[in-house]
Structure 1
């Protein structure tokens, strides 16, 4: 999504402003507030440099827009620390209700081939995201809720039906990130079901051998599962197919940086993501805020979500979402996705995982 103005932009800016006010009134002296100040400082320094160099106004507004979206996530993380468990529970229940209602539209779209409910309307590509506007939003939405449903199913004998609904939602989106997520969750669950390590090792070994033997057939099946697959694969190769041309965007961005960046840019960024967004999430953060900004970002994730030892499944799913964002982007630079990510993993931090599922 670029920095164009949409009606929803007003709501997003209002959300950032409200969180900013709450931060100034109640959170400005907290330990984690230091990270906010560093990120704001990096952005302001770059902004001043760009004004001095008479950078185009469109670039300044574009970077401001992307910064507001990125800083929203950090402001929200601090605000959520003041949330009571029951408030997070109500928010999660509301998200599940939205997901279940939207799943009805996904199924209707699939059964009656309704284009407006498709992930990629008016194309032959498979995928239905219901009334949620973008597949990049619905993918994270259903994946994150599937994580909650799965952990509740494993640790608290939660609803299997709810878990299946969320996984069905992920599948019908028709995105590569969704299919990767389903493969990971299936792999994890099989390891849990195989009670002895010898069985788990044998299963992993069988998977590796099967892939080596059937590699060409598996790659062919994956490529032909997408309408655009054969064309991209024949023209650009396997990596470009897997990354949906993002590797080509990365090559262009690298060329631009070599020609236009100095040492300062590598430290504090300065890229206009409207013009040179790669959608490898951590690459985009580096280009936007430099090495310092990327380091602060990762450090704050660690401080907030891993300030104490977490359950192994929590850690695996946290890394899974970061891995998917590293390949597909649109997590921290999307206010909707950042909100869901922050709420879900803040909620899961407190989940009771006393039941041992992998011994």
Structure 2
């Protein structure tokens, strides 16, 4: 066992991690205002990520023994995808940016893992408090946005229905709400459960509807307190609710036109099926290598996680990610709620991507699993 004082001596890991999360929410909203209102701001989030990654690198270098004895599978993954990227011999801004997004997860993972390693339950209780505080603030601004039709609190700049408050994009919203939902469920926080369901409906984001639907279905199925008849009834109600709100969402003009011209599948997947077919027609042996992925294509992502990894990193990248997730699962996942959350998140990422692409999504994914595996329910607060 490594002494906490030694590892924590390089600044406070809690301040660093929580500071990054809180500032990310803030800077994301500044980016959102810039996009929605076409105002130029400094890219604060870019500098924040540079600082966080730099800190993580130094943390790894200062604590090599801790990393190599506990989570070397993350380091192996980082090294392999780095080699795959270098083998492309394409170092354009597009390809470098894509690589940095995928590498971010594994560079910061040792730091994110550390509180779980030392069994810091209070740290993970604070994860619950931060998510609770953020959701409450988001509920307030979503209510204001809904009542006064404030553009900056909407999910889409195009005018399509939906409100996600402070959150920058529809790509990360499902992951934030999913993490909050499972942690509120763990803590038996009924009031927050009601609020998270309400703002999930108001988000107008299909990914949010799907994630919440799958999560609640799995939680009910895995419940040991409910009888079979009660489970069947609740699952039926969940399905009816999911179907109703999804159909209401698809009844918007933008989706009606899409259904009429392209069909239901295109509307449900927001044209991802068409984009996939279009990309497949562009792939040749000159612009794509099956082992290392794209080498010359200017389209490197479709927001379908498995496809995205294969597209950018090829078979070697796919095998490496499978190795990482398999190792991580065996290392961490023990409890029912963790299994439910893990399955739901993987299913969600398969449909909308972004899990290993958007830093906030990946960080919340790991922090939530660590929280579910920690004993935060035993902490008594005054």
Length-normalised TM-score, structure 2 = 0.75
CA distance in 2, matches of 1:49, 1:66: 13
Residues 240 and 202 of structure 1: CA distance in aligned 2, closer, same or farther (over 3 Å): same
CA distance in 2, matches of 1:299, 1:237: 37
1:3-44, CA deviations, whole angstroms, 9 ceiling, x for partnerless residues? xx9332121222222212222221453353354344434433
> Where in structure 2 are the equivalents of 1:1-359 lying within 5 Å?
6-27=43-64, 29-30=68-69, 32-50=71-89, 55=90, 60-83=92-115, 84-121=120-157, 123=159, 125-153=160-188, 159-188=189-218, 191=221, 192=223, 195-197=226-228, 200=231, 221=247, 224-261=250-287, 265-270=289-294, 275-307=299-331, 310-351=334-375
Deviation at 1:328, TM superposition (A): 0.8
SS for the counterpart of 1:306 is: helix
Q: Which moved more, 1:22-31 or 1:284-293?
A: 22-31
Counterpart of 1:357 in structure 2 is none
Contact (CA 8 Å) 1:105, 1:131: kept in 2 or not?
Answer: yes
Deviation at 1:343, TM superposition (A): 1.1
Contact (CA 8 Å) 2:291, 2:315: kept in 1 or not?
Answer: yes
CA distance in 1, matches of 2:356, 2:261: 31
Contact (CA 8 Å) 2:293, 2:314: kept in 1 or not?
Answer: yes
Deviation at 1:174, TM superposition (A): 0.9
Residues 225 and 26 of structure 1: CA distance in aligned 2, closer, same or farther (over 3 Å): farther
CA distance in 1, matches of 2:313, 2:54: 21
Residues 344 and 42 of structure 1: CA distance in aligned 2, closer, same or farther (over 3 Å): closer
CA RMSD of aligned residues (A): 3.2
CA distance in 1, matches of 2:339, 2:346: 11
Residues 34 and 177 of structure 1: CA distance in aligned 2, closer, same or farther (over 3 Å): closer
Residues 160 and 31 of structure 1: CA distance in aligned 2, closer, same or farther (over 3 Å): closer
CA distance in 1, matches of 2:324, 2:276: 26
CA distance in 1, matches of 2:220, 2:113: 35
Aligned length: 328
CA distance in 2, matches of 1:219, 1:130: 19
1:94-151, CA deviations, whole angstroms, 9 ceiling, x for partnerless residues? 232122112210111111211221111351x211111222222233212211111112
Contact (CA 8 Å) 2:81, 2:317: kept in 1 or not?
Answer: yes
Q: Which moved more, 1:33-42 or 1:135-144?
A: 33-42
Contact (CA 8 Å) 2:88, 2:292: kept in 1 or not?
Answer: no
Gaps in structure 1 of 5+ consecutive residues: 154-158, 212-216, 355-359
CA distance in 1, matches of 2:138, 2:307: 32
Residues 49 and 299 of structure 1: CA distance in aligned 2, closer, same or farther (over 3 Å): closer
Residues 260 and 223 of structure 1: CA distance in aligned 2, closer, same or farther (over 3 Å): farther
Q: Which moved more, 1:103-112 or 1:12-21?
A: 12-21
Deviation at 1:257, TM superposition (A): 2.8
Residues 287 and 344 of structure 1: CA distance in aligned 2, closer, same or farther (over 3 Å): same
CA distance in 1, matches of 2:175, 2:213: 15
Counterpart of 2:8 in structure 1 is none
Residues 335 and 181 of structure 1: CA distance in aligned 2, closer, same or farther (over 3 Å): same
SS for the counterpart of 1:82 is: helix
